[in-house]
Structure 1
């Protein structure tokens, strides 16, 4: 049974470090290693996912949005959703490539990927050198899959792809492939995001949550920016306002707690920091159109 974070009784905790929630969903599609002949000629197509195409041997001539790139062994191609592309041998000889199609619901990472104007990263580039070891790990895991993939192989693949994306983020920020303005904006939005999640747990400890309101003014002050700039930057990166994000987080925690039959609605109201059940019920009904009791009955 899953339950949300429940703070210990006051006075029992000496110190604590709360890590922001991680709720990223990664989907992998059609990952494969393929060896093709010199006559290989894949027609123009597009797909709704991102694609990493990593050349292991030979040469591949890949055309992306009517522009040609000659990909050699060790080179990486990154394709964004909807980009039209085709491929063929670059020298009429066989070649081997490793391909990953994926999508991910992490808004900050998607913000990075959508801004990239690179397609081909040569093997000698600092970017490919940085992520090359993880690509090699993915190739090794994939090459050992035979028939049905085991749970261990599946988890290792997902773990390696997350590691790959993390290195990609670091590489682009360190190497300056994002403009300083864009990078600073995304990092600031990420800081705001983490502090908003922290406010959720502060609500758990608040004796009078109404006095805390949303805490966005405090976040802006701590970061040395205006409230309007805080709202604007967060909306540009995440697509919603900080206030709506915080409300969605509180709503999520309330639903998780209601899914645990061991907790009474009175206990849940107290855990979330509401003055009384009536206050919590009114807020929950604004969120979901039904009372906490009705929600719990419908999900049992």
Structure 2
């Protein structure tokens, strides 16, 4: 693992663009395309992932939580975790569908998905127009036999990120149709989230190593910058993302700490300073509270896993 980013020596940089870190994890499960006959009947089931179900030709009848939807060629269904569903031919004739199940750890994406009440997205609509071309790309990649397994997997992962990028864009445009009040909260929560990410995206080094102040840029400063109270900041963020700003920030810092600890060349003291802790003991206590083990024990676990 590369060492954490450190700013260049003063005066050595003429121009610089800092791009956001990419930390989103996407897991794909049960990706398949299937052509079935007219007596196809898949029993009621549920799963812990989201499902995208797309009909290429024919008609499918999907029953989700007791409500039936008829899917024609080009229509897309979004099924949420825990929803009971079953499928069969809608007209007694064969049909072809493509299906993928996924998990993603992006809070904004999950928040938008949770707000969508629509289940069936018809061909030619905003969402299908954005998503279907990439679904066809995934189908093409999955059907190619002349690729090595690792090349095909990487190409499918690339297409999957493109798919979710297009889906997020479509969901964001759908959010604009919300009431003005709801959309204002959504936008404000987004701005809070961006500032929280910026906190973790920079190095935290004190200009005066002997200062006795423990104050760091945080939630209070974000609220002040946005001209809102801390309580309103917490309330709006929790409404959109389902957790407090502080809990979200803790997740970001824990993720960054784990990445840094995975590099055995980085002293724990350095990691503690980079993440803005006043001393290594404070960092160690906080990390153990989050992860259940000390930074040193976590580093040993990573090393053991890598050596297997």
SS at match of 2:195: helix
CA distance in 2, matches of 1:220, 1:67: 43
Relative contact order higher in (CA < 8 Å, ≥ 6 apart): 1
Comparing 131-140 with 90-99, greater Cα deviation is found at 131-140
- Residue deviations 1:174-222, cap 9 Å, x none? 2457624444433332322221222234453432584642432332233
Flag the 1:106–1:271 CA change in 2: closer, same or farther, 3 A: closer
Partner of 1:245 in structure 2? Answer: 248
Select between 161-170 and 283-292 the one with higher mean Cα deviation: 283-292
1:98 positional shift: 0.5
Q: Is the 8 A contact 1:50 1:101 kept in 2?
A: yes
How far apart, CA to CA, are the structure 1 residues paired with 2:157 and 2:84? 26
* Partners of 2:287 and 2:294 within 8 A in 1: no
Distance 1:246 1:36 in 2: 47
1:63 corresponds to which residue?
63
Report the equivalent of 1:219. 222
Alignment of 1:1-80 (within 5 A): 1-80=1-80
Higher alpha-carbon deviation: 262-271 or 219-228: 262-271
Q: In the superposition, relative to structure 1, how do residues 282 and 85 fare at CA in structure 2: closer, same or farther (>3 Å)?
A: closer
Instruction: Tell me the matched-pair count.
Output: 296
| Pairing of 1:112-123 with structure 2 (within 5 A) | 112-123=112-123
Distance 2:82 2:74 in 1: 25
Structure 1 unaligned regions, length at least 5: none
Shift of 1:95: 0.7
Over residues 49-99 of structure 1, what are the superposed CA-to-partner deviations in whole Å (9 max), with x where a residue is unaligned?
111111011111111111111111111111111111111111111111001
Structure 1 pair 192/17, CA: closer, same or farther in 2 (3 Å)? farther
Partner SS, residue 204 of structure 1: coil
RMSD of aligned alpha carbons: 2.9
Post-superposition offset of 1:111? 1.2
Q: TM-score, normalised by structure 2?
A: 0.82
Determine helix, strand or coil for the equivalent of 1:93: coil
Q: TM-score, normalised by structure 1?
A: 0.84
Out of 68-77 and 131-140, give the one that drifted further: 131-140
Structure 1 position 89 matched with structure 2 position 89: yes
Partners of 2:21 and 2:201 within 8 A in 1: no
What displacement does 1:236 show? Answer: 3.0
Gaps of at least 5 residues in structure 2 are 304-308
| 2:168 aligned with 1:165 | no
Of 217-226 and 7-16, the range deviating more from structure 2: 7-16
Alpha-carbon distance change, 126 to 10 in structure 1, aligned in 2, over 3 angstroms: same
How do residues 227-238 of structure 1 correspond to structure 2 at under 5 angstroms? 227-238=230-241
What does residue range 264-283 of structure 1 map to in structure 2 within 5 Å? Answer: 264-273=267-276, 279-283=279-283
Partner of residue 200, structure 1: 200
In 1, the alpha carbon distance for the partners of 2:50 and 2:251 equals 27
